[in-house]
Amino acid sequence: MKLLRAELFKLRTTSMWWVFALAWLVTTGVVLAVNSVNARALLKPFDQYVSIQTHGHESPTTLDPGRLDHFKSDWTAGHDVIVQAAKIYTSGQLIGLLLACLLAIVLVTVEFQQLTATSTFLTTPRRRAVVQAKLGTALIVAGLAWAATTVLSVVVGAVFLHQQGYLVSLGSWSVDRAILLNLAAYLLWALFGIGFGTLIRSQLGATISATILYLVGSGAAGALFTLLNTYVIKHNWVLSAQVIVPSTASTVMISPTQPFDYAPAAWVGAVVIFAWAAVFGLWGVRTLQGRDIA
């Protein structure tokens, strides 16, 4: 407990906490605005949706069949107040999860980047205990970030939905489930970040790798596994297997709808990302324990 207090103290006595706090609030605000605009369009009747999307230049009767199908598909998936409420109330998710991961990475790598590892491990020679304290700190901060971004999203989103004449939808299990899964995702990405940061000592290397993995991982994995499925192994499980990529696993876990064809159940995503975090964490602690602090 004393180590946890020390780590929390260390976090709030540098500028890091407010830089991250600001980043969380600003990115949540931006995503909230985008989600609200999209919801406003998607919740309209289809002809008005097409009109909004084409800036008034087209209507369903003038669209070519390909674009019409595309718009229809998007509108059908999104034309549901519950779906839109869940999306708006979890606006802190898209970049927020990445920030939770990055904060956790920085908590560990800052010791080497700022040359404080020596005094930290002189004070506490049991390195595993230090990593555990950092993990506790990352989980607490991730939880607080989830709470702050959720309060912002829910308050603004509820006012928006009410003004638009829709049900606020809080209390609906689908909406509440999305909000709670968002918390789980925050915690798992923080856990993942601690493992990643412990394993990769370079702050720059770890943060860039994690950012690429988070932002590009799903898209790259989707393309790769689709190619594999099309040309090499023509079985549906290949498409399901892309859940092994952490960012894809995260999407599978939190998505209210099936994120891709043959996507496994949400719990599989949770297990996969937890497994990644555990592997990185245990490997990282083992590496750290044997590493000379020179």
Partner 1 sequence: MTNPDPVGRIVVAGLTKAYPGFNAVDDLSFTIEPGRVTGFLGPNGAGKTTTLRMLLGLIEPTSGTATPGGRRYVNLERPVEIVGAVLEASSAHRGRTGRNHLRAICLAAGLPTSRADEVLELTGLGAAGDRLFKGYSLGMRQRLGIATAMLGDPQVLILDEPTNGLDPEGIRWMRGLLRDLAGQGRTVLVSSHLLSEMQTLADDVVIIAKGRLVRQGSVAEVSASIATAVHVEVRTPAADLLGARLEKLGAGVSLTANGDLQVTDASEKQIGDLAHELGVPLHRLAAGTADLEEAFLQLTHEGATIR
Closest approach, Cβ 285 to partner 1, in A, equals 15
What secondary structure, in 3-state letters, does the chain show? CHHHHHHHHHHHCCCHHHHHHHHHHHHHHHHHHHHHHHHHHHCCCHHHHHHHHCCCCCCCCCCCHHHHHHHHHHHHHHCCHHHHHHHHHCCCCCCHHHHHHHHHHHHHHHHHHCCCHHHHHHHCCCHHHHHHHHHHHHHHHHHHHHHHHHHHHHHHHHHHHHHCCCCCCCCCHHHHHHHHHHHHHHHHHHHHHHHHHHHCCCHHHHHHHHHHHHHHHHHHHHHHHHHHHHHHCCCHHHHHHHHHCHHHHHHHHHCCCCCCCCCCCHHHHHHHHHHHHHHHHHHHHHHHHHCCCC
Closest approach, Cβ 141 to partner 1, in A, equals 16
Closest approach, Cβ 294 to partner 1, in A, equals 6
Residue whose CB is less far from partner 1, 118 or 230: 118
Which residues lie near partner 1 (CB under 8 A)? 2-3, 5-6, 9-10, 13-16, 110, 114-116, 118-126, 290, 292-294
Q: Under a CB-based contact definition with an 8 Å cutoff, are residues 157 and 88 in contact?
A: yes
Residue whose CB is less far from partner 1, 34 or 204: 204
How is residue 90 written in tokens? 């979890």
Around 176, how many Cα atoms within 13 Å sit in the side-chain half-sphere?
4
Residue whose CB is less far from partner 1, 130 or 194: 130
Residue whose CB is less far from partner 1, 83 or 111: 111
**Buried-exposed string 38-51: b where 16+ CB fall within 10 A, e elsewhere:** bbbbbbbebeebbb
Closest approach, Cβ 4 to partner 1, in A, equals 9
Closest approach, Cβ 171 to partner 1, in A, equals 42
Closest approach, Cβ 114 to partner 1, in A, equals 5
Residue whose CB is less far from partner 1, 54 or 113: 113
Closest approach, Cβ 16 to partner 1, in A, equals 8
Residue whose CB is less far from partner 1, 121 or 274: 121
How is residue 148 written in tokens? 């702050």
Residue whose CB is less far from partner 1, 87 or 134: 134
Residue whose CB is less far from partner 1, 16 or 94: 16
Closest approach, Cβ 290 to partner 1, in A, equals 7
